[in-house]
């Protein structure tokens, strides 16, 4: 059994009608080379076999927790996951994407070596049905910001990632203490809105652009949608 008092990472997955992909996604998590984490799957009122797949994994792996809610959208699902998370860091994963097996190990090792920063940002690559972009063997330079002033001065290095919550570790304590949540009143680019709220309280940050997160590109992917003007203004 997992000792919740010492869980280092909480991986939150909103799940809605993803029976085709969620098994592969969960397998990518179960194959992590560091197992000090919990997985919180939030079933958002799925009408297919998604819940059955989740329950099967919860029965097989004690680190998998399944929450269910009436269909209320991805933002409500993630907020629900945050409320139940116990890890020092939170990472968000979509139910059709994949993690490199060393994601948690390397990111937590990096976090410890850099004094447990407020935000750690890795890179990502795209995954399609017939291709899997591998992590390059080349070295990726680190960007370390040890203060709020450094973070603000170097924001341009992180701006590329503002639309995405994948490939990041967020400090749970910072989310809870500042009551940061996903805006349930918007349907597009809710990831960016969350990041802007979180970035506003970040003091320390590490960017390590290794592509550990693999996005599955689908036609209805939110990454292709229009950004609401009020969040561009923010």
Residues 165-219 have pLDDT tens digits of: 988 999 999 999 999 999 999 878 899 999 999 999 999 999 988 888 888 776 5
Report pLDDT for 70.
97
Residue in 53, 34, 149, 123 with CA at minimum distance from that of residue 95: 53
User: Which residues, other chains included, contact 219 with Cβ-Cβ below 8 Å and sequence gap of 6+?
Assistant: none
22-30 and 50-60 helices, crossing angle to 10°: 20
Residues 120-169 have pLDDT tens digits of: 999 887 765 544 455 554 456 788 999 999 988 888 777 777 888 988 99
Alpha carbons 69 and 78: distance in angstroms, whole number: 11
Q: What is the mean pLDDT of the chain?
A: 87
Residue in 67, 66, 65, 77 with CA at minimum distance from that of residue 37: 65
Report the chain's C-alpha Rg in angstroms.
17
Alpha carbons 59 and 65: distance in angstroms, whole number: 9
User: Which residues, other chains included, contact 3 with Cβ-Cβ below 8 Å and sequence gap of 6+?
Assistant: none
pTM of the model: 0.89
């Amino acid at each position: 059994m997992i000792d919740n008092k010492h869980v280092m990472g909480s991986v939150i997955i909103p799940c809605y009608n993803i029976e085709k992909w969620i098994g592969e996604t969960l397998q990518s998590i179960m194959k992590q080379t560091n197992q000090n984490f919990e997985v919180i799957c939030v079933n958002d009122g799925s009408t297919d076999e998604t819940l059955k797949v989740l329950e099967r994994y919860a029965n097989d792996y004690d680190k998998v927790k399944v929450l269910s809610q009436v269909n209320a959208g991805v933002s409500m699902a993630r907020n629900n996951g945050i409320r139940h998370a116990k890890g020092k860091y939170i990472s968000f994963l979509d139910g059709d994407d994949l993690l490199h097996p060393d994601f948690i190990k390397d990111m937590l090792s990096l976090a410890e070596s850099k004094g447990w920063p407020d935000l750690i940002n890795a890179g990502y690559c795209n995954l399609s049905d017939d291709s899997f972009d591998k992590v390059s063997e080349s070295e990726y330079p680190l960007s370390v910001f040890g203060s709020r002033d450094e973070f603000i001065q170097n924001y341009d290095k992180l701006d590329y990632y503002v639309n995405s919550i994948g490939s990041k570790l967020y400090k749970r304590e910072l989310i809870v203490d500042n009551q940061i949540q996903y805006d349930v009143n918007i349907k597009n680019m809710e990831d960016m809105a969350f990041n802007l709220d979180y970035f506003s309280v970040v003091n320390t940050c590490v960017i390590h652009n290794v592509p550990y997160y693999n996005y599955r590109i689908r036609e209805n992917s939110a990454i292709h949608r229009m950004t609401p003007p009020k969040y561009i203004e923010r």
